[in-house]
Amino acid sequence: MKKIFSHPKRKTKVVFVQLGSPEAPTPKALRKYLREFLGDPRVIDLNPWLWKIVLNLFILPLRPKKSAKLYERIWDGESFPLITNTERFTDKVREELKPLDPNGHVEVNHAFLLSPPFVNEVYDSWEEDIENGVGATKLMVIPMFPQYSESTIASGIDALAKELSKRVKIPTFEVITNFHRTHAFINNSAAQVDSKIEKLRCDGVLIDSLVISFHGMQKRRIVKKGDDYYRHCYETFKLIVNNLKEIDPKHVFMSFQSRFGHEEWITPYTDDVVQDLIKKGNKHIAIYSPSFVADCLETTDELGHELVSDAIEWGGNIYPIECLNTNEKWCKDFAHYTYTQAEGSAKAKEEIEYQLSEMEYQEMPDLVMGTG
């Protein structure tokens, strides 16, 4: 009997993509994780043959043991915060979509580049749905990195392209390459910061300064390759500051963390900014990292543990502000953002983002090689 193929109704399958975490806080698991992560030419864009030698002879034999100890500090016995928060975030967005999308035109899933469920598993589920006549007619990928960079977004696109190269059935698809100027992200980030500062004040702690710290990147990639990441970070910084209510903008500073290797990275460096503020008499400093929407090693340990300890040695105190994680308002607003991207008009999509003025762009510090 000839198989009858039904045409599925219009539906968009949205996939929230995150980097992922190691399987466990062990040297073996970290070696596997770092081999794949640092082996990505988008992440480390050096001479591939030279980097392969460095990675296999110097980094993988030594770094996994040290990294395992760091990951052990954020391990809850079963999982890491990035994994748990991404799963719960997706579940909450799915619930918040129901009143917006009663006809079920938008379906949300999550996937990781380096952890299960992998992108190929989500693709397998789509193909299975197609066979059963209920599959989505469009695939939309939203990498959960607010700002674009080659090392994150482009890396994810490469992974998707690699997967597509193995498939026969390919849906109409779209990749959202940034969401850092959206009302959902900016409003909730500002509210997260304000809420923490207000709570600390109620507890008797008056915040002197706020540091908005972004994940670092080699300065060369901005200056010589033209990566948009630095501009996106500045836009994020400026828009969050514009929406803050609990601290004067003149007491808010932008910085960059997580340096790796010997190259010059985007300045100013977070630890330098914090140390300088403490030297100038700022004893209570709040810190927030809007490069991430879910807490991970860089926020929970690097800022929440190591920088806190360093600040005490320098004579001050650091008060980390959590990522948005599964904040109720954030999940609700991101559900609206997701629905608008999938089903909204061009005008509706324009209205969900902030814009900076020409004068505000003129205030963006220039990056020059050899100055940091």
Mind listing the pLDDT tens digit for each residue in 229-278?
Answer: 999 999 999 999 999 999 999 999 999 998 877 889 999 999 999 999 99
Which are the contacts of 15, defined by CB distance < 8 A and separation ≥ 6?
Answer: 108, 109, 110, 111, 119, 122, 139, 140, 141, 142
**What pLDDT, on a 0 to 100 scale, did the predictor assign at position 133?**
78
Over residues 70-122, the pLDDT tens digits come to 999 999 999 999 999 999 999 999 999 999 999 999 999 999 999 999 999 99
Please state, for a pLDDT cut of 90, what percent of the chain lies above it: 85
Torsional sign, CA 53, 54, 55, 61: positive
| Confidence at 8, pLDDT banded by 50, 70, 90 | low
Q: Which two tokens stand for residue 133?
A: 């006549």
**What pLDDT, on a 0 to 100 scale, did the predictor assign at position 160?**
87
Tell me how far apart the alpha carbons of residues 169 and 126 are, in angstroms, rounded to a whole number. 10
Is 158 or 324 the better-scoring residue by pLDDT? 324
Q: Identify the CATH number of the domain defined by range 183-326+358-362.
A: 3.40.50.1400
**Spatial contact of 255 and 211, defined as CB atoms under 8 Å apart:** yes
**Spatial contact of 83 and 21, defined as CB atoms under 8 Å apart:** yes
**Spatial contact of 327 and 183, defined as CB atoms under 8 Å apart:** no
Which are the contacts of 306, defined by CB distance < 8 A and separation ≥ 6?
Answer: none
Answer yes or no: same fold for 12-175 and 183-326+358-362.
yes
Q: Which two tokens stand for residue 253?
A: 């500073």
CA 339 to chain centre: 20
Domain ranges of the chain: 12-175, 183-326+358-362
Tell me how far apart the alpha carbons of residues 233 and 253 are, in angstroms, rounded to a whole number. 12
Q: Identify the CATH number of the domain defined by range 12-175.
A: 3.40.50.1400
Mean model confidence pLDDT for the chain: 94
Q: Please determine, for residue 360, whether its predicted confidence score (pLDDT) is greater than 50.
A: yes
